[in-house]
Amino acid sequence: MSTTRHAAALIWDCWSRAAHIDQLPADCRPATRAAGYAVQSDVARLSGEAVVGWKIAATSAAGQRHINVDGPIAGRLLAGRRVSEGVPVPLRGNVMKVAEAEFAFRMAGGLPRRDAPYTVDDVMAAVGTLHPAIEVPDSRYPAFATVGAPQLIADNACACWFVIGAAADAGWRAVDLVRHSVSAYLDGKLAGQGSGANVLGDPRIALAWIANELRTFDDGLRAGDVVITGTCLVPVAVAPGARVLMDFGTLGAVETSFAE
């Protein structure tokens, strides 16, 4: 078994059992971003699930400090991890136990691998719709802040569950996403506020970042992919029985609850 497949098998075993591993063994531990993405790709293959999009982790300085990385990292969104509004999100085995408010872009066109970097204008021209979203991340490493970016990338950039709300109306392109306010409510009480400025300074810049990350380390974004671009506010701690509503104002809202 190759080192990539060995690492992926260990991570997918943890995913499938809601189990954990301190870190990958030295003989199969990725040391570079490229090696981490190779493991991540094999984890998706082992899952047997369709990849329906991507997430970006660590799109703020606070987020980067939280998981001890020096920049954003990308992870795959698996079809079986999408939760519909009204269906409780499982928290069994989750070591993070937080909910994040995120701008989600659904791609109308693809942005394939190429040599030249994509600009923000290139990327936005390929976007179809904008949605409010909730991510409930997790890590297969309990000490996720110490394992480093290559191992976090291998672990799908802390991807786990996600909820995508209804598309915003067509006027969203005229909205200043940088200054647009987002509020989190936990069991009906205000639990946090933020804005698009917390997402690499602008969610559109974050989307361009992942387009360029994937043109380098993968096959690019595809038409139909959903990209959740990173939390707009300090993640909200949750527990079984809690209910969270993320209010994006004129762009809509998205809600979920939590089960063990």
pLDDT tens for the chain, residues 1 to 260: 699 999 999 999 999 999 999 999 999 999 999 999 999 999 999 999 999 999 999 998 889 988 999 899 999 999 999 999 999 999 999 999 999 999 999 999 999 999 999 999 999 999 999 999 999 999 999 999 999 999 999 999 999 999 999 999 999 999 999 999 999 999 999 999 999 999 999 999 999 999 999 999 999 999 999 999 999 999 999 999 999 999 999 999 999 999 97
- Domain 3-259 carries which CATH code? 3.90.850.10
Nearest Cα residue to 131 out of 63, 177, 198: 177
Helix (H) or strand (E) segment spanning residue 153: helix 149-154
- Domain positions in the chain are 3-259
Helix (H, G, I), strand (E, B), or coil: what is residue 10?
helix
Nearest Cα residue to 98 out of 244, 242, 237, 260: 237
Nearest Cα residue to 145 out of 69, 246, 76, 199: 69
Provide the angle, in degrees to the nearest 10, between the axes of the packed helices 33-47 and 3-17.
50
The CA distances from residue 45 to 16, 50, 78, 170, in Å, are 13, 9, 10, 35
According to DSSP, residue 219 is labeled S
